Amino acid sequence: MLDKTVFALSTPVGGAIAIMRISGENARPLLERLFTGRIAHRRVSYGRIVDENGEIIDACCAAFFEAPDSYTGEDMAEISVHGSLAVARRLAEAIESTGLAEKAGPGDFTRRAYLNGKMDLAEAEAVMDMVAASAERSRRAAAMQLEGRLSAVIASLYERIKLACARLANAMDDDTGEAELDEAALAAEFTAAANEAEELKEGGLRSRILREGARVAIIGSPNVGKSSLLNALIMRERAIVTAIPGTTRDTVEEQAEIEGLPVIFVDTAGIRETDDEVEKLGIERARREADYADLVLWLVDGTRAIRKEDIDVLSGVRGKKTAAVITKTDLDRAVYPDADGLINGLPAFPTSAVTGEGLTALRRGMAELLLPENPHSESAFPESIVTNSRHIEALGRAADALFAAARLIVSGETDAAYFEARSAMDAAAQILGTEDPGEELVDAVFSHFCMGK
Ligand code: GDP
């Protein structure tokens, strides 16, 4: 994508001025074609935008930045015109008709900045948080992240794991038996790193949940009672309850308070494989919602045995805090938790949206799952430096892998321990976006950006 020059309006239309950004090697030729003023690195000049037929579109100021000293690391231009829709539209048409640039997608400029090494992934995400910051506290957290404070902490955690990994690898490679492996010391080091990762995660989780609310996704096959449960939990009639499967094609979001915690419920379309195109869109969206959820409520219809489609829904959200909710307990019951209170290995909560049975226990269970009581975590609020759910998750994966590594070392399974430790390193590296995070992850990060950033 970097060989293309892209453009986008970086300001909302309707203000006094509108700023059109252009990035890529055609930025200069484009300005030369359309702009009458002077073009020089880091200079703002006044001139006119004239289309290819010689018609003046607007008087404007244009700034030019030469690679690599620009936001994206590429040649860049920023044209400030008057902020009306008519001007912005004509300018976009004029740019596009040169054939030198194409419309940018969401976050394309910051994505380029990341791909060109101007910032790491965590810093790029801080840019997004900064743009979206509605509260002073969010702005402060984003500013810290943008300054690289998070990156520094993660980089030092990464180094710590790497060192321990190297010690482990050394002992594994050594056939002479001279490099005696001090299992206890190494296991202690992995445990310490795991605790560090977990503390960062918990602090981040706590602060983000208290600040923005916990995202709870309600998933399940059509008709299991998702909308009804949502309504019962928030005691309103916002989600339309119907008996026709698959009508909730979009997601419905609701804010509520659960045991004193701010919670945002996401009611998703029934996740299941389908050939229906419209429904498929809803389903993909649902998977994504569950992806960004702090807690997933997996609903199973209490009146019928669990089916393959129920299990399929669940398999789409692996690696998430998940609770099973048995619905419709006021009717003839076909599903019961096992002796440990579990269904499919998940804590189970029998409920009825009609009588309200089980809702209090579900609320308590949700709060407990979202914020397990932890004596250390109080101090992490409110100035935790980890705020982004992607980072929180990666830290959780790192912590789990490191705890596993420590256990495996003690039990003499050094190969497996090494494997776990490497995956912890990968998780840390993914936060920074170093060591090729993969296109999918980068896409996921930048798809949440707004246009023109
Ligand atoms: P969704 O498709 O998963 O959102 O399911 P709905 O919430 O639309 O519910 C499907 C059907 O089950 C509707 O006819 C509801 O009235 C019914 N239903 C949902 N929850 C309960 C419950 O707790 N008890 C009873 N008796 N019926 C329920």
Residue with the smallest CA separation from ligand 1 atom 13 is: 243
| Ligand 1 nearest atom to the CA of residue 222, by list position | 2
| Ligand 1 nearest atom to the CA of residue 245, by list position | 2
Regarding the beta carbon of 222 and ligand 1, being less than 6 Å apart is answered yes
Centre of ligand 1 from the C-alpha of residue 77, in Å: 55
Q: Residue 424 belongs to what H/E stretch?
A: helix 414-432
**Domain definitions of the chain by residue range:** 6-118, 124-207+381-432, 211-370
Domain 124-207+381-432, CATH: 1.20.120.430
Regarding the beta carbon of 241 and ligand 1, being less than 6 Å apart is answered yes
> Alpha-carbon dihedral of residues 170, 176, 180, 186, nearest 10 degrees?
30
Distance CA 120, CA 433 (A): 6
Centre of ligand 1 from the C-alpha of residue 231, in Å: 10
Centre of ligand 1 from the C-alpha of residue 268, in Å: 14
Domain 211-370, CATH: 3.40.50.300
Regarding the beta carbon of 248 and ligand 1, being less than 6 Å apart is answered yes
By C-alpha distance, which of 262, 252, 175, 174 is closest to 219? Answer: 252
Residue with the smallest CA separation from ligand 1 atom 10 is: 223
Report DSSP state, residue 41: B
Residue type, 289: E
Which parts of the chain sit beneath pLDDT 50?
Answer: 243-249, 270-272, 282, 375-382
Regarding the beta carbon of 131 and ligand 1, being less than 6 Å apart is answered no
Determine contact, residues 425/161, Cβ cutoff 8 Å: yes
Regarding the beta carbon of 243 and ligand 1, being less than 6 Å apart is answered yes
Centre of ligand 1 from the C-alpha of residue 228, in Å: 5
Regarding the beta carbon of 246 and ligand 1, being less than 6 Å apart is answered no
Give strand pairing partners of 252. Answer: 267
Residues 6+ apart with CB under 8 A from 130: 139, 142, 143, 146
Centre of ligand 1 from the C-alpha of residue 224, in Å: 6
By C-alpha distance, which of 341, 350, 303, 345 is closest to 322? Answer: 345
By C-alpha distance, which of 407, 405, 377, 406 is closest to 392? Answer: 377
- Token output for 190: 């992995």
Regarding the beta carbon of 268 and ligand 1, being less than 6 Å apart is answered no
pTM for this model (two decimals): 0.59
Domain 6-118, CATH: 3.30.1360.120
Residue with the smallest CA separation from ligand 1 atom 14 is: 243
Which residue from 218, 223, 230, 351 has its CB within 8 A of the most atoms of ligand 1, so it is best to mutate?
A: 223
Burial class (CB in 10 A: 0-12, 13-18, 19+), 124: buried
Residue with the smallest CA separation from ligand 1 atom 6 is: 225
Centre of ligand 1 from the C-alpha of residue 90, in Å: 51
Regarding the beta carbon of 327 and ligand 1, being less than 6 Å apart is answered yes
- Token output for 39: 């073009």
Distance CA 337, CA 331 (A): 16
Which residue has tokens 């037929």? 53
Residues 6+ apart with CB under 8 A from 116: 2, 68, 72, 73, 74
Regarding the beta carbon of 302 and ligand 1, being less than 6 Å apart is answered no
Task: Give the Cα-Cα-Cα angle 37, 118, 448 (nearest 5 degrees).
Answer: 95
Burial class (CB in 10 A: 0-12, 13-18, 19+), 330: middle
What are residue 50's phi and psi, to 5 degrees? -120, 130
Q: What is the pLDDT of residues 41-61, one digit of tens each?
A: 999 999 999 998 899 999 999
Regarding the beta carbon of 151 and ligand 1, being less than 6 Å apart is answered no
Exposure string for 353-374, b = 16+ CB within 10 A, e = fewer: beeeebbeebbebbbebbbeee
Query: What count of other Cβ atoms lies within 10 Å of the Cβ of residue 179?
Result: 13
Regarding the beta carbon of 220 and ligand 1, being less than 6 Å apart is answered yes
Centre of ligand 1 from the C-alpha of residue 352, in Å: 9
